[in-house]
Amino acid sequence: MISVIAPAKDAAKTLGECLQALSNQDGMRLDRDYEVIVVDDGSTDRTAEIAAQCGVKVVRQKNLGPAGARNTGVQIATGSIVAFTDADCAPARNWLSELMRAFDDPKVVGVKGTYRTQQSGLVPRFVQVEYAYKYTRMRNQTTIDFIDTYSAAYRKEVFILNGGFDESFPVIQDQEFSFRLARKGYRMVLIMPENLSVERRAAMKAYGAELILVHKEQGMEGARDLADQMQREGRGKVLDPLANPDNPLDHHRSNRPELWRDTNAGVSHFV
């Protein structure tokens, strides 16, 4: 049995689509192969009512934040694997089956999936490009230390043994937990679609930017060399969205605003 946990706070607008997607997972039957648990974290709208109408387990509690809501879900979960997503996400039909595939390796304790925005706005598309770049870097790593709960799964025994999410963290508690596991030597992996390069190109083109391709044998080094050459020739400025090494929160608070400021909100080329 797999337990899927979705924390929700005033999520009436998006929860229905999320639960519909979770109820239709390829090769699996709800309540036979997996359960869905919605933890209503002090909502004041119809969140709990919508969850109940969708036929999933519903737990209502006072507002404890996303870490507390996810931990509550784990406490009542009956599955040996606990998977997490957010109330404003609509998992793909193969989401669970792909995550579970990683656990065929008994040494794997955690799995990270990928994110694909459906929003057409400039900022969401910019974030998508950044995510895609991270996925490419992580793709061939035998183990990772960074897992977000929009698409994640852990062995329940390991999750509980290590204390779950730290509820003192108002944000990035999911990343802190994965860092904690990585420091202890646990193995976590990334599961991603084979067509990521296609998704990346589509996200980049959404900006109306010119997409310049280098030969695959040149790899990222070739792309960087070309970008540096363009900068030397006065044809643009090279920006590194991962230049801040401090931590994910500082990265999200600092790098993206810097990019907007340095370019006056104008990105013209992706290499």
In three-state form (DSSP H/G/I as H, E/B as E, the rest C), the secondary structure along 186-225 is: CEEEECCCCCHHHHHHHHHHCCCCEECCCCCCCHHHHHHH
pLDDT beyond 80 at 122: no
| Residue bearing the bigger pLDDT, 157 or 205 | 157
- Lowest-pLDDT range, 83-97, 148-162, 197-211, 243-257? 243-257
User: How is residue 216 written in tokens?
Assistant: 């695959």
pTM of the predicted model as reported, rounded to 2 decimal places: 0.71
- Summarize pLDDT for 197-250 with one digit per residue, the tens: 555 555 555 555 566 777 767 766 777 788 888 888 888 777 665 554 544 454
The pLDDT tens digits of the residues spanning 20-78 come to 999 999 999 999 999 999 999 999 999 999 999 999 999 999 999 999 999 999 999 99
pLDDT of 186 reads 96
Packing angle between helix 122-138 and helix 196-205, nearest 10 degrees?
150
Would you state the pLDDT for residue 179? 94
Q: Is the pLDDT of residue 194 over 70?
A: no
174 vs 269, residue with greater confidence: 174
- What's the rounded Cα separation, in Å, for the pair 95 and 100? 9
Q: What is the pLDDT of residue 191?
A: 85
In the chain, DSSP finds a helix count (H) and a strand count (E) of 10, 9
For residue 63, the model assigns a pLDDT of: 95
Per-residue pLDDT band for 123 (boundaries 50, 70, 90) equals confident
- pLDDT of amino acid 115: 76
If one compares 138 and 151, the residue with the highest pLDDT of the two is 151
Residues listed for the chain: 271
Out of 86-95, 156-165, 240-249, give the one with best mean pLDDT. 156-165
**38, amino acid identity:** V
Cα within 13 Å of Cα(148), Cβ side: 13
